[in-house]
Structure 1
C-alpha cells in the first residue's frame, strides 16, 4: 500500500471529521432559528449523534476487518459528504435528527478505519503517528470556527459551511478510491490477511483490554464533561463573564492540541506505561485545580493541565493495546470508542441531572470524579502494559 498517500488520506480525513463534529455546536443558533428547534430538539440532535457513534464503533470493531480499508474509507467519506449535502437542504428539523444519527454512525466507522490503518502502516512509530492523527482531528476542531466566520462574511447562511465541507470530503473520497485501486497490486499490510469478523467477547476476556474500555469511559467523561459544562460552570459557579469563560476554556483545547502534537517526543525519555501515569496525574491535578480554583488564573491553569494530560492519553492507550495484539486493531478501537461514548453520555446527563437538584458549582464535581476514575484505570492498565514491554 502506498504509505504516504494512505497516511495523507487518513490525516486529512481526521481533520475534516474534526470540523464535522464541532461544526454543529457552532451552527446550532442559526440552525435552531431557521428550523424552529427548541432546546429539547437541540439536545436530541446531539444525543442522536452520540448514539450513532456508539453503534458505529460497535459495528466497525466487529466487521470492518472484512473490507479493504481504503476502499471502505472512500465509500464512507462519500456517504458523509452526501449526508452533509442532504442536511444542508432540510426544511424540517425531523430530517436533521435522522441525519445526525447517520453522521455519527458513519463517522465512528471512519475513526476505526483510521486508527487501525495508521497502526498497521507505521509499526515502528505507532504511538507517534497515532498521536499526530488525533492531533489532526483537534486541528479540525480549531479551524472550524474560523472557517464558519470566513464563510459568514460572504454568505450568512448555516447551510453553506456544510456544502463546502461536503465537497472537500467528496474530493478526499475520490483520492482515497484511486489510492485503494493502486494498493491492490501491492502486498497486503501486516495483520490484514484475516477477513473474519472480530469478537468483543474474546477481547474482553483479556484483562488489559477490559481495562482499556473502562479507561475509555473515563476519557469520554472527562473530555466532554469539561467541554460541555465548563463555560456554564465558570459563569454560574465562579462568576466569570461569557467572553472570559470562553477564553479560559480555550486553555483546555490548546492543551489538548499541544499534548497530541508533542507527547510522542517524551517517549524518548519515558516508557509508554510511565508516560501514561505521568499524563494521568497531570490530568487529575488539572481537574482538581479547575474545581477548587476560583480566579480566572487558577481556572486557566487547571484547564491547561487537564488538556496537556488528557490529549496524549487516547493515542497512547490505544497504540499500547495494538502493540499487544495488532490483529485485533478494529475491535480495540471499537472498545475504547464505545467506552468513551458511554462516558460522554454519563457525564453530560449526570451533570445535568445533578444540577437539577443542586447548584452547578456542586454538580461539577462530576469532573474530578471522572478524572479520578480515568487515573485509576490508566494506572491499572499501565501495569498490564508494563510486562508486555519487558520492563
Structure 2
C-alpha cells in the first residue's frame, strides 16, 4: 500500500473526528435547550455514544482486518456524513440517542483502522507517527471552539456546525474512494496476504494489556468527561459566559495539541515508562485544579496542565503496546477504545446523574476521582512496560 494517500486520509479523518467528538460538549447547552433534554438525558447521550464506540471497537478490532482498509474507510466516512445530516434534521431528542450510538460505532471503527495502519506503515518511527496522528485528533478538538464561535456569528444554530462538518467529511470519503481505486489498479495481479479474523481472548489474558485497558478507561473518563461537561460546568456551575467557557476549554485542547507534538522529543531524555508516569501526574494535578481553583486564570491553567498531561498519554501507551505485539494491532486498538469508551460512559453519565440531584459544580467532582484512577493505572502499566523492555 502506498503510504501517502492512506496517511492523508487517516490524518484528515482524525482531525474531523476530533472536531466531531468535542462538538457534542460545546453544542450541548444549545442542543439540550432546543430538543428539551434534561441533565440525565444529556448524560445518557454521551453514554450511548460510548456504547457505540465500544461496539465499533469490538467489530473493528475483530473483523476490520478481513477487508481492504482504504475502501472501508471511504464507506465509513460516507456513513458518518449521512448520520450527521440526519442529526441536524431532528426536532426531538429520542432519535438523537439512536443516532449517537451509530455515529459511535462508525467513528470507533475508523479509529481502529487508523491506529492499525499507521502502526504498520511506520514501524520504524511508530511513536512519532502515532503521536502525529493523535495530534491531528487534538488539533480538531482545539479548532472546534473557534469553529463554533465563527459559525455562530453567521447564525447561532447548533445544526450548522454539524452540517458543515458533514460536507467536509463526504469530500474526504470521495478522496479515500479514489485513492483506493488507484491503489487497486496498481496492485492488480499481485498476490495478496490472506485476511483473517483476530481474537481478543489471547490478548486480554496478559497483565500488561489489562493495565492498558484500565489506563485507557481513566483516560477516556478524564478527557471526554471534561470535554463533554466543562462548558456546561463553567457556564451553568461557575457563571462564565458561553464564549469564556469555550475559550477556557480551548486551553485544554491546546495543551493536548502541544503534548502530542512534543512527547516524541521527550523520549530522547525519558524512558517510555517514566514519561507515562510524568504525564499521568500532570493530568492529576490539572484535573484537581479545575475544582480547587475556580477562577478564570486558575481554570485556564488547570485545563492547560490537564491537556499537557493527557495529550501524549494515549498514543504513548498504545504505541508501547504495539511494540510488544504489533501483529494484533486492531485488537490492541480495540481494547484501548473499549477502555476509553467505558470511561467516557461512566464519567459522562455519572456526572449527569449526580447533577440531577446536586449542582453541576458539585457533580464535576467525578473528574478528579477518575483522575486518581488514571494515575494508579498508569503507574501499574509503566511497571509492566519496564518489565517487557
TM-score normalised over the length of structure 2: 0.88
CA-CA distance at 1:141 after TM superposition? 2.0
Q: Is the 8 A contact 1:2 1:179 kept in 2?
A: no
Aligned to 1:58: 58
Distance 1:4 1:31 in 2: 38
Aligned to 1:212: 212
Aligned to 2:102: 102
2:262 paired with 1:262: yes
Q: Is the 8 A contact 2:56 2:108 kept in 1?
A: yes
- Cα 1:58–1:236, aligned 2, differ >3 Å: closer, same or farther? same
- Cα 1:353–1:160, aligned 2, differ >3 Å: closer, same or farther? closer
Aligned to 2:314: 314
Which residues of 2 match residues 173-184 of structure 1 at below 5 A? Answer: 173-184=173-184
CA-CA distance at 1:176 after TM superposition? 1.1
Distance 2:247 2:159 in 1: 27
CA-CA distance at 1:381 after TM superposition? 1.1
SS at match of 1:197: coil
Q: Is the 8 A contact 2:248 2:299 kept in 1?
A: yes
Aligned to 1:163: 163
CA-CA distance at 1:193 after TM superposition? 4.0
Q: Aligned pairs, how many? A: 386
CA-CA distance at 1:243 after TM superposition? 5.7
Q: Is the 8 A contact 1:81 1:169 kept in 2?
A: yes
Aligned to 1:285: 285
Q: Is the 8 A contact 1:217 1:339 kept in 2?
A: yes
Distance 1:44 1:285 in 2: 28
- Cα 1:234–1:44, aligned 2, differ >3 Å: closer, same or farther? closer
Distance 2:11 2:173 in 1: 13
2:269 paired with 1:275: no
- Cα 1:4–1:220, aligned 2, differ >3 Å: closer, same or farther? same
CA-CA distance at 1:70 after TM superposition? 1.1
Aligned to 1:382: 382
2:162 paired with 1:142: no
Aligned to 2:199: 199
- Cα 1:203–1:303, aligned 2, differ >3 Å: closer, same or farther? same
Distance 2:226 2:151 in 1: 29
- Cα 1:127–1:344, aligned 2, differ >3 Å: closer, same or farther? same
Distance 1:288 1:59 in 2: 36
Aligned to 2:305: 305
Q: Is the 8 A contact 2:25 2:231 kept in 1?
A: no
TM-score normalised over the length of structure 1: 0.87
Which residues of 2 match residues 349-360 of structure 1 at below 5 A? Answer: 349-354=349-354
CA-CA distance at 1:324 after TM superposition? 0.7
- Cα 1:197–1:230, aligned 2, differ >3 Å: closer, same or farther? same
Q: Which moved more, 1:140-149 or 1:35-44?
A: 35-44
Distance 1:364 1:29 in 2: 16
CA-CA distance at 1:237 after TM superposition? 7.1
CA-CA distance at 1:104 after TM superposition? 1.2
CA-CA distance at 1:363 after TM superposition? 4.6
Distance 1:365 1:242 in 2: 21
SS at match of 2:197: coil
Distance 2:348 2:38 in 1: 18
Bigger RCO (CA 8 Å, 6+ sep)? 2
SS at match of 1:282: helix
Which sections of structure 1, spanning at least 5 residues, go unmatched?
none
Which residues of 2 match residues 226-237 of structure 1 at below 5 A? Answer: 226-231=226-231
Q: Is the 8 A contact 1:65 1:194 kept in 2?
A: no
Aligned to 2:5: 5
Distance 1:30 1:229 in 2: 13
Q: Is the 8 A contact 1:11 1:136 kept in 2?
A: yes
Aligned to 1:121: 121
Q: Which moved more, 1:317-326 or 1:372-381?
A: 372-381
Aligned to 2:325: 325
Q: Is the 8 A contact 1:22 1:144 kept in 2?
A: yes
Q: Which moved more, 1:123-132 or 1:80-89?
A: 80-89
Distance 2:133 2:272 in 1: 18
Q: Is the 8 A contact 2:218 2:370 kept in 1?
A: yes
Note the alpha carbon deviations across 1:78-121, whole angstroms, 9 max, x for none: 11112223333345544333222211111110111111111111
